[in-house]
Amino acid sequence: MRTRDLRDDGGTLTGVEISNLIITRRAVERVLSRIPGAVITKSYRPWRWSAEDDFVHFTLNGRTFIAWEPWGDSDAYWIYSQDAKGGPEVDAVKSAFEQHRVWRVI
């Protein structure tokens, strides 16, 4: 799966953007839960009258991350570090999505 970098004003990598055209919110949570050391702290809850834009929260090596669909109806999901620092945790999240294959296709 292709990813795009999310960077802060200083150019530090803070997260990744992925297309939501071929991956669901549930699948995003599944990919995140497979990252070694990741702990889901807020899980996606389907079948709600109003779905929240930030649908998964998780920690990785003590850092908090959020999976968010900007404006609730965009064509992308953002998975970013809440403390806005780069590091190996952001790289691990990026790598997890780059290695994820939808229908076993690149």
What is the CATH classification number for the domain harbouring 24? 3.30.310
Name all contacts of 27-31 with Cβ < 8 Å and 24+ positions apart. 28/55, 28/56, 28/67, 28/77, 28/79, 29/55, 29/56, 29/67, 31/96, 31/97, 31/100
CA distance 40 to 43: 6
Note whether residue 104 is domain-resident.
no
First to last CA, the chain: 6
Note whether residue 59 is domain-resident.
yes
Note whether residue 86 is domain-resident.
yes
pTM listed for this prediction: 0.84
Say what the pLDDT of residue 67 is: 93
**Cα dihedral sign, 43-44-47-51:** positive
Note whether residue 41 is domain-resident.
yes
Say what the pLDDT of residue 51 is: 60
Say what the pLDDT of residue 46 is: 66
Say what the pLDDT of residue 106 is: 46
Note whether residue 105 is domain-resident.
no
Say what the pLDDT of residue 59 is: 94
Note down the domain range covering 78: 4-99
Question: Would you write out the chain's pLDDT as a tens digit for each of its 106 residues?
Answer: 889 999 988 888 999 999 888 888 899 999 999 999 999 999 876 665 556 788 899 999 989 999 998 876 778 999 999 886 778 999 999 999 999 876 655 4
Note whether residue 106 is domain-resident.
no
CA distance 65 to 57: 6
Note whether residue 20 is domain-resident.
yes
Q: How many domains does the chain have?
A: 1
